[in-house]
Amino acid sequence: MGTVLAVVSQKGGVGKTTTAINLASALARRGRKTLLVDVDPQGAVRHGVGLTGTEHPAGLADVLAGTKELQDVVLPTPLPWLRVLLAGSVAESGEHESYHSELVNAIKANDYRYQNGRLTVFLAREFGFCYGVDRAVDYAYQARRRFPDRRVFLTGEIIHNPHVNDQLRAQGIRFLSDPAEDGAVTPDDVVVLPAFGVTVAELQRLSSIGCTLVDTTCGSVLNVWKNVSRYARDGYTSVIHGKFWHEETQATASQATEVPGGHYLVVVDRAEATAVCDYIRRSASPDATLRAAFLERFERATSPGFEPDLHLARIGCANQTTMLSTESLEIAEMLRQAMASRYAADEMAERFHSFDTICSATQDRQDAVQRLEPKKPDLMIVIGGYNSSNTKNLTRIAATFTPTFHIEDPKAIVSADEIRHQPAGTKAETVSHSWFPPTAHTIGITAGASTPNNQIGETIERILSFRGTMDLPTLLGVH
C-alpha cells in the first residue's frame, strides 16, 4: 500500500478540515500510511504530520519525500498547484483511484450541498461504495498486480455495477460467468470470489482444483451465513427474505443445506411472506391440495426435499443484506405473529428465532435517502446497476416522496429533456422526456453501494451543465 495524502486547508473552514482528518484517520486505521499536510490561507505548506505523530519539515519537497507511490489523494479543498504536482503520482498509483471524484469530495465538504443561483443539489449523507465493496474491488486489482503472469478469474460480477466490471475486464481479469469462458480453471490460476460470496458447492469445487483463491466476501454476508448455519444445526428452517436468483441469497441458502437435515425457504416480498404465514396458520389441519400449491409456488425457492408441514414448524429469519430493511423487519414480525397464532406462548422460544442481518451500510444509505424527504427535492437521481438490489431499494424509498430516476450510469442522462432509467418496481429500462423541467430547482442525489464516486461526480456535472451552473473552480474552492 502506498501513502495517503490528506490536505488540510485553513481557508476551507472547520468542516473541510474535519473531513480531511476523518478520511485520513479512517484509512490509517485500515493500515494505510497516512500524511496530513497543513496549508495556510495563502496556500503555502506549513508542515506535514503523519498520523503516527511524526513531524515533517516545512516545505512541499520535504513533505512529499517518500510518497512516490501515492495510492489516494484526499483533497477536500484542492489547490491547483498541488493537484498538478501530484497528477503524475496519482496517474501511476493504480486503476482503483480512477473511481474517485474531486467534485463529490467538495460537495461532501460543503455539508453535502451545492447551490448556484436557483439550483440546489442535495447529496445523501451516505451513498456509493461501502467498505465491503471498496475492499472487494481493491483485492481484485491487487490480485491482478500480484500475479501478472497468471490467469486471474472472477466467478462472476464482483459487484453489481457494469462500469466497475468492465474496467476489471480491461485489466485482463476474466469472468467465469461470461459466455466465452468454458469454466476450465487450473491449479495455476487465480480466482477472486465476489463480495456477495459463492455457494458452498462452488467453493468446494474451486478448492479441490487447487487454484489460488482470493476471498472478498463481505463481512456482513459472513454474519448472515453464521446465523443460517446455526439455525440449521439447531434444527430450524431458515426463512430468508431475499431474491432466490441473487448470488448472495444462493450462497446464503447453501449454508443451510451444508448441514445434514438443514432446510431453507426464500421469500422475496410481503406477498410471498403472507402466503407462508397463511400456510403456517392452516398447518394444524394438513391439506394435500394446499401443500401441492405451496410447493409449486416456491418450487425454485426451497431446499431439496422441503416439506412445509414439517419444516415450517421451527423457523429462523434471515435476509439478503441488501434488501429493504423495513420490509425485512416487517416480514420477520409477520412470521412471528403467524407462529404465535399457531403455537402456545411457552413454545415460541423453541419455534421462532429472528436476527436483523441487514448490513449497516445498506441501512445507512436507506436512512440517508429518507432524510432527504424533508428537503422536498423536486426530483431524485439514483445511480447504480439495474441488477443491484440495494440500488433498487433506494429507488423504491425515494419514489415514495418525489419523482425518481434510477440510472445505470451518467450516459443515461441524454439531455435536459431525455433520460434512460428503470422506474421503481420494474425490471426494464425506459426512456422519459421532460424529466428536468425549468421548474425543478432542487435535486437529490444518491447511489447504490456498488457505485464509485466518479460515476456520481459525472452525473452531477452533467445535470449542472444543463443549467449553466457548472462553476467547478468555485465549487472546489480554487481561486
Active-site residues, by number, are: 248
Which grid cell sits at 377?
427535492
DSSP character at residue 160: S
Q: Which residues pair with 153 in a beta bridge?
A: 174, 191
Q: Residues near 459 by Cβ (< 8 Å), separated by ≥ 6? A: 381, 383, 407, 410, 413, 445
- DSSP element (H, E) containing 193: strand 190-193
Supply φ then ψ for residue 103, to 5 degrees.
-60, -45
Sign, CA torsion 276/279/283/288: negative
Residue 431: beta bridge partners?
A: 420
Q: Is the dihedral of CA 473, 475, 478, 479 positive or negative?
A: positive
| Radius of gyration of the chain from its Cα atoms, rounded to whole angstroms | 25
Q: Check if the beta carbon of residue 42 is closer than 8 Å to that of residue 59.
A: no
φ, ψ at 41 (rounded to 5°): -60, -25
* DSSP track, 195-227: TT---HHHHHHHHHHT-EEEE---HHHHHHHHH
Helix (H) or strand (E) holding 90: helix 80-92
Cell digits of residue 212:
489460488
Q: What is the DSSP letter of 286?
A: -
CA distance 312 to 307: 8
Q: Is the separation of the CB atoms in 291 and 308 below 8 Å?
A: yes
How far, CA to CA in Å, does 427 sit from each of 83, 385, 396?
A: 42, 12, 13
